[in-house]
Homo-oligomer: A and B are copies of this chain.
Amino acid sequence: MFKQLTQRIIKGRTDWQFIAISDLGSNTARLVILRSIPGYAYRLEDELREVVRLREGMTDGRLSDAAMERGLSTLDLFKRFCGAVGVDMVIPTATSAVRDATNGSEFVQRVEQEVGWKLRVLSGEREAHYGVIGALNEVPITNGYVLDIGGGSAQLSEVRDGSYRRGDSVRLGALALTERFVKSDPPKSSELKVLQSEIEKQLQTFTWAKPSEGWKLVGLGGTIRNLAKIESKRQNYPLENLHGFALTGKSVKESIDLFDELPLKQRKSIPGLSDDRADIIGAGARVVAAFMDYLKVDELTISENGLREGIFFEQFWRDQPVPIADDVRRFSVLNMARIYQYQPDHAAHVRMLCQRLFADLKTLHQYGPQELELLEAAALLHDLGTIINYNDHHKHSQMLIISSGLAGYTPRETAIISLLARYHRKGTPSWEGFQSLMQDGDEILLTHLAAILRMAEFLERGRSGIVSDIEAAWDDDSVTITLLSDRTPAVELWDAERNAAPLFETAFGRTVHLQLGHSTQG
């Protein structure tokens, strides 16, 4: 087993590729570099960010000379950086500022001549499309809308049957609106009135977008992420990642009131708000609120993925007809497991034993496929923390899950999976620190699932699959777990008895008997 581990951990796959995606927006230029093996796993390796404000001074419809110079020198830096670190592929893109500018093609030409990059200038529709690909790889929805607010433009897209259906871009970017309408600090109410009516006017162009019962709204981009970050600070939100965070219309309106009231200097000290966004967040937040009102939704689900990730996924899922994970939740668990060099054989065996216990004790616990899925995810991820340290690795596993988050899962589900990992070896399962995400009955759920995972883990203590299968039977007083094995699983019996049985007895209110034997049903 350790020998396999050596091979896997230390050798692993060597066919990783490094893909750089550069995105030149109206406000910000970014370069992200991702390490990936298409369809297998990916992770962020590096990131550069520069506030370029390409749209600044574009009042006559032309990129100003100064803005062009800033854009060129930033792209030049990005290119040099890609050269220095060594990447396999670069995809340089530009969005609304270059797209809208009457001298945009001149800029593209200069980039090609002076930097040596062929900029892909994305149409508004294409920009919307990539945003949706990013979002659907994180927040799987069947029917709904995706809203992406950038510096120059905002995109709204419709998702039907899990796919991009259509999308449009309007000039409702946070920077563009601020430049046009907001001259005072704090903004005058007369300015805000004009701003608001411009937003509402442009909204009317989305004739195809109607409020629809049960449709979800997913939100992307820096403005929306920042509004969510501010709300997460207000709530003392216990996860570090905003995957699937629900931002309410009420919260957005509270933030707007705050932005309107405070002058820039004080606005900058709002917890969660980025310094270099404090001047344009007010206009952006009004756009968010207006879209939510227009679509009559009370909340918006955050996607941390957006345009850049959409472009990346087009490469990552290139062997699929549509560049979206078949099962986002399943893939996000596997991706995390692979990135942190899990032991697939051990993890899969623990998962199988969990499935058996879950099924055989169903009448006792009454849970269904949703709870089973959380248990299975935790079974795959429980040992990840060993990459940090064997000691306390259960705590490290929890930290890794909390720190990266799990795309596709709700915050509550992510918390449960992390807590199962936390309690897979020892301790009394507790929601401490995560109570704000807890629902009725979740304490009992956590205890039941942790008891099953811990039993499965200790029945696979030697990580050699020695307990090939198990069966659990129960009566009013006891649960009997029969271990099927070709050899005597002495370590597993000993350790499960000492370390797993007590929690199991608490969870199921019955004494536990572990026995060796042949199938009672066969």
Where the two chains meet, the residues of A that have a C-beta atom closer than 8 Å to any C-beta of B are 1-4, 6-7, 10-14, 16, 18, 33, 35, 43-48, 76-77, 80-81, 84-87, 240, 386-392, 396, 399-400, 403-404, 461-464, 466, 490-491, 494-495
Q: In the complex the two chains form, is B10's CB within 8 Å of A85's CB?
A: no
> Knowing A2-B86, A10-B14, A11-B12 touch, does A391 contact B44 (C-beta < 8 A)?
yes
Q: In the complex the two chains form, is B18's CB within 8 Å of A77's CB?
A: no
- Nearest B residue (CB) for A404: B389
- Nearest B residue (CB) for A32: B390
Give complex CA distance A76, B390 in Å: 23
Which of A43, A464, A466 has the most B CB atoms < 10 Å from its CB? A464
Give complex CA distance A466, B80 in Å: 11
- Nearest B residue (CB) for A339: B389
A4 cross-chain contacts in B, Cβ below 8 A: 86
Q: In the complex the two chains form, is B388's CB within 8 Å of A35's CB?
A: no
Q: In the complex the two chains form, is B84's CB within 8 Å of A464's CB?
A: yes
A48 cross-chain contacts in B, Cβ below 8 A: 491, 495
Which of A2, A4, A390, A396 has the most B CB atoms < 10 Å from its CB? A2
Give complex CA distance A77, B490 in Å: 6
Q: In the complex the two chains form, is A387's CB within 8 Å of B389's CB?
A: no
B13, B35, B390, B399: which contacts A45 (Cβ < 8 A)?
B390
> Knowing A7-B14, A77-B494 touch, does A45 contact B2 (C-beta < 8 A)?
yes
Report A468 CB to chain B, min CB distance, Å. Answer: 13
Q: Can you identify 10 A-B contacts, CB atoms within 8 angstroms?
A: A2-B33, A6-B35, A11-B11, A11-B12, A43-B390, A44-B389, A45-B390, A46-B390, A388-B403, A399-B399
- Tell me the number of copies of this protein: 2
Q: In the complex the two chains form, is A462's CB within 8 Å of B390's CB?
A: no
Contacts beyond the supplied A1-B84, A2-B18, A10-B16: 8 A-B pairs with Cβ under 8 Å:
A2-B86, A2-B87, A10-B14, A44-B391, A47-B390, A77-B490, A84-B464, A388-B388
- Nearest B residue (CB) for A400: B388
Give complex CA distance A240, B4 in Å: 31
Q: In the complex the two chains form, is A80's CB within 8 Å of B45's CB?
A: no
Report A107 CB to chain B, min CB distance, Å. Answer: 20
A2 cross-chain contacts in B, Cβ below 8 A: 18, 33, 35, 45, 85-87
Q: In the complex the two chains form, is B81's CB within 8 Å of A491's CB?
A: yes
Q: In the complex the two chains form, is A491's CB within 8 Å of B84's CB?
A: yes
Give complex CA distance A386, B388 in Å: 12
Q: In the complex the two chains form, is A86's CB within 8 Å of B388's CB?
A: no
A87 cross-chain contacts in B, Cβ below 8 A: 2
A13 cross-chain contacts in B, Cβ below 8 A: 10
A80 cross-chain contacts in B, Cβ below 8 A: 462, 490-491
A86 cross-chain contacts in B, Cβ below 8 A: 1-4
A16 cross-chain contacts in B, Cβ below 8 A: 6, 10
Report A275 CB to chain B, min CB distance, Å. Answer: 12
Q: In the complex the two chains form, is A403's CB within 8 Å of B390's CB?
A: no
Which of A80, A386, A399 has the most B CB atoms < 10 Å from its CB? A80
Report A276 CB to chain B, min CB distance, Å. Answer: 12
Report A397 CB to chain B, min CB distance, Å. Answer: 12
A389 cross-chain contacts in B, Cβ below 8 A: 43-44, 403-404
- Nearest B residue (CB) for A488: B80
8 closest A-B pairs by beta carbon, nearest first, are A84-B462, A84-B464, A10-B12, A2-B18, A44-B390, A1-B85, A2-B86, A81-B491
A81 cross-chain contacts in B, Cβ below 8 A: 461-462, 491
A7 cross-chain contacts in B, Cβ below 8 A: 14
- Nearest B residue (CB) for A46: B390
Give complex CA distance A500, B359 in Å: 57
Give complex CA distance A373, B76 in Å: 37
Give complex CA distance A80, B485 in Å: 14
- Nearest B residue (CB) for A87: B2
Give complex CA distance A463, B76 in Å: 17
B6, B33, B392, B464: which contacts A14 (Cβ < 8 A)?
B6
Report A431 CB to chain B, min CB distance, Å. Answer: 22
A494 cross-chain contacts in B, Cβ below 8 A: 77
Give complex CA distance A45, B490 in Å: 20
Report A50 CB to chain B, min CB distance, Å. Answer: 8
Q: In the complex the two chains form, is A466's CB within 8 Å of B84's CB?
A: yes
Give complex CA distance A490, B78 in Å: 10
Q: In the complex the two chains form, is A85's CB within 8 Å of B388's CB?
A: no
- Nearest B residue (CB) for A43: B390
Q: In the complex the two chains form, is B11's CB within 8 Å of A77's CB?
A: no
